[in-house]
Amino acid sequence: MPTDHHAAAAASSGDRPRRWAFALVCLTYGTATVGEQLLSPLFPTARRDLGLTTGQGGVAFAVLAVSIAAFNMVAGLALRRWCAATVMRVSLLTVAAGSTVAALATGLPSLLVSQALLGAAAGLFFPSGLQGVATFAEPGRRGFAMGIYGVAFSVGLTVAALLGTLGAATSWRIPFWSGAGLGVVSLVAIARLRTPMPDPGGARGVPWRAVFGLPTVVGTIGAMLQYGVLAFFTTFAVERWELTEGAAAAVLAVGRVVSIAAKLVGGRTTDRVGPRGSVVRTSLLLSALGLLWVLLPGGLVTYGVAAVFAGTVSSIFPAANVMAVERFGSHGLALGAYRSVQIGMGALAGFVIGNSPLSLQITVLIAVSTPLLLVWACRPLVASDAQR
């Protein structure tokens, strides 16, 4: 009869494939994130090389976000026929293709094609990756797994920002070639990953009432900051603070590093006070930091506050994702719709900021105040979270 020690060792050995598969899902999520986030830190340099305007940059960022939104829905439909691992592999192949087109871009049309492809890759990955997390997360640790999945997103943001710094110092095309290489390597890494096939008898409709509930509201505010405000972060730093393009990209890179720690703190807070309580705290912090870095003059303190703001933005998504998984996590099309709605609003935010009749500072000031809406939306429900 096996001893407790032997039983524990056997259980640990059985968990290794699950943990390895979970790690692969997270690492490949980082690769998809690198692709979608590369243009933001590189735009000041690419704009000069390709002869683009700030307004055309807004169009490019909007194309990226619209493509993400559309292919979130495509991924949801695909998950009715194919397993999550297959959809993830298609996503990584598209990352490599989109990054290659961007590296070879000669003007706005080819840049828009690359952004559409990179957006498609990110859109395909999110619902399939979220299902992968649910499949490989250890029993009873879904919240922690979601936090680690969020850290993978932050790592991707950090790598994109670091590549942006490299591109500002050398050539803006080199980071996109690097992104293509990461896509190929990640595709090879998950070539043998297996996830369950979808249930052919599962629900076909979309639970729209749940999709348009609080999880999507929270995620939408986060997307507006991520795809709107942070898309123009380096442009703001160059124009408002008169930083060099390399220095502006470096400030964003620091923010991406901060986001890793912020994501872990956000995950722990979600476990402790519930997702809605976590959203209230994060929203108050984001609004305070946002107002400070937009209004203060350039200087080390302002750069530090701006970096912390950039890092804190992505920490709002784990709470939103936990809410979504709890309400409709087994429904691939619902997950796609949930992400599609919020990214669509992110696309609108990017377009508005790039083409606003107001100054960039005033437009960003309004945008960074939007998390206060979540304080109002979530505060009456925090007590019910704490009682669960």
In a domain, 56, yes or no: yes
In a domain, 92, yes or no: yes
In a domain, 203, yes or no: no
Q: Check residue 206 and give its pLDDT.
A: 67
Q: Of 37, 107, 31, 105, which is closest to residue 249 (Cα–Cα)?
A: 37
pLDDT (tens, 9 = 90+) of the chain, 388 residues, equals: 444 444 334 334 446 677 888 888 988 898 988 988 888 888 888 888 888 887 888 888 888 878 888 898 898 888 888 888 999 999 999 999 999 999 999 989 999 999 999 999 988 998 888 888 878 877 656 667 777 887 887 788 788 888 888 887 888 899 999 999 999 999 999 888 888 887 665 555 667 777 778 888 898 899 889 878 888 888 888 888 888 888 888 888 888 788 888 887 877 788 778 888 889 999 999 999 999 988 988 889 999 999 999 989 888 888 888 888 777 766 777 877 887 788 778 878 888 888 888 888 888 899 899 999 998 888 665 444 444 4
Q: CB neighbours of 21 closer than 8 A, spacing ≥ 6? A: 132, 135, 136, 193
CA–CA dist 154, 53 (Å, integer): 29
Q: Check residue 203 and give its pLDDT.
A: 55
In a domain, 6, yes or no: no
Q: Check residue 285 and give its pLDDT.
A: 93
Domain count, the chain: 1
Domain, as residue range, for 279: 19-193+208-386
Supply the DSSP symbol for 273: H
Backbone angles phi, psi at 368, to 5 degrees: -75, -5
In a domain, 198, yes or no: no
CA–CA dist 64, 39 (Å, integer): 10
Other Cβ atoms within 10 Å of 213 Cβ, number? 16
Q: Can you state the angle between helices 142-169 and 4-37, rounded to 10 degrees?
A: 40
Q: Can you state the angle between helices 173-189 and 142-169, rounded to 10 degrees?
A: 150
Q: CB neighbours of 42 closer than 8 A, spacing ≥ 6? A: 164, 167, 168, 172, 175, 249
Counting beta carbons within 10 angstroms of the beta carbon of residue 352, is it exposed (0 to 12), middle (13 to 18) or buried (19 or more)?
Answer: middle
CA–CA dist 3, 176 (Å, integer): 54
> Which residue do the tokens 């994702």 mark?
321
Integer-rounded Cα Rg, in Å, for the chain is: 20
Q: What's the CATH number where 214 sits?
A: 1.20.1250.20
342-to-60, 166, 192, 198, 345 alpha-carbon distances in Å: 18, 31, 32, 25, 5
55-to-62, 164, 238, 294, 371 alpha-carbon distances in Å: 11, 20, 16, 20, 25
In a domain, 12, yes or no: no
In a domain, 10, yes or no: no
**Per-residue burial over 162-188, b = 16 or more CB atoms within 10 Å of its CB, e = otherwise:** bbbbbbbeebbbebbbbbbebbbebbe
Angle, alpha carbons 25-31-32 (nearest 5°)? 90
Question: Do residues 83 and 194 make contact, with C-beta atoms less than 8 angstroms apart?
Answer: yes
Q: Check residue 336 and give its pLDDT.
A: 78
In a domain, 121, yes or no: yes
